[in-house]
A and B are shown apart, each in its own frame.
Chain A
Amino acid sequence: MKLSFVINRKPSEAAEVPDIDVTPVMNMFVILIPFLVSMAVFTHMSIIEFTLPPNVSAFMASQPQKPHPRLTVRLGSDYLGIVMGEELLDSLTVQGQSFPFDSLAERLKVHRIKLDYREEIIVAATDKISFKYVVRVMDICRIAGFEKVGLSSATQDPGAGI
């Protein structure tokens, strides 16, 4: 009896796969994907906060005391310098448009530890420097562990100081 039951079934019926209706899923995708594409944020914005030197800021200019020497990174198209007050601690030559930012980051960390200085660092850039390089150096300073970053201008003439 059992054998006859097996033989009576059609092979096509035995191999039939249940057909899943994907139409509702597709409908959901069609609605959800345009919504998510319109809401998606592909570029995330952030800010870098900085201060201006005391002689520039209108508020701080009213304070009479002389500013104390700060660690400064001089950013120029000829060289990058690390200056404490008026003393040049380190300098890195710029070759063409390739700025030695990796070396600057390393040396900045070394000087920060050596001087045990965690306060404000000033980024002083020369006039012809593109703003993207200024932001890059501000980033390097922040990563090196400085709490505050200030922005100032430097003279093109290396002998004239900052």
Chain B
Amino acid sequence: MSFLKDRFEQKADSAFRPQLTSLVDVMTILLVFLIKSFSVEGNLITPSQDLVLPVSSSEKLPQLRTSIEITKNAVISEGHTIVTMEELSRNDSMVIKPLFDWMKVVHSRNKNPKTVSSLLIQCDREIEFSVVKKVMFSCSKAGFIDFSVLVVQEE
């Protein structure tokens, strides 16, 4: 009887125990990778979803300032579509009137002397320079002097 009892206890002890060693290995590698790519500073600026930014080796960190987005479909500022690409292509003038008016308001609204004349351009990498030129010209006429362009840092 005691022999049977021993066998029963032994079976109860040997319940299904998954082998976790390989899983722990994977988790450890993943953890090391994530800690390595972890940035305490984070990104101050989140680019638009419909933008593919150009790649650059520049390491200068972006700062908060007035921003304008040039996507494949439109020129956007603060979430508002200022002018579509169709309207822009129809316009032969260097100054984009709706953009100029909007940027003038944005410029007058900014009271911070350090960033009042600074503009960050977020431009899709495939946009033709003629479009960027018109946007920059209109913005400079609205009072912006210091221009910078947002890029994805090269690895």
Contact = CB atoms under 8 A, between A and B. Distances in A.
A44 to B, nearest CB: 4
Given A49-B147, A130-B127, A36 B58 contact: no
Contacts of A44: 39, 43, 152-153
Given A47-B60, A135-B54, 7 more contacts: A22-B21, A43-B152, A45-B45, A45-B47, A45-B62, A59-B117, A130-B125
Size bracket, chain A contacts: 35 or more
Contact of B56 (A37, A51, A125, A135): A135
Interface of B: 20-21, 23-24, 27, 30-31, 34-35, 37-39, 42-45, 47, 53-63, 117, 120, 123-130, 132-133, 136-137, 140-143, 145-153
B145 A58 contact: yes
B49 to A, nearest CB: 13
Contact of B126 (A48, A60, A132, A138): A132
Given A36-B31, A41-B37, A47-B60, A130 B148 contact: no
Contacts of A26: 20, 23-24, 27
A5 interface: no
14 contacts: A41-B37, A41-B39, A42-B37, A43-B152, A45-B150, A45-B153, A46-B150, A47-B61, A47-B120, A60-B145, A127-B130, A130-B129, A132-B125, A134-B129
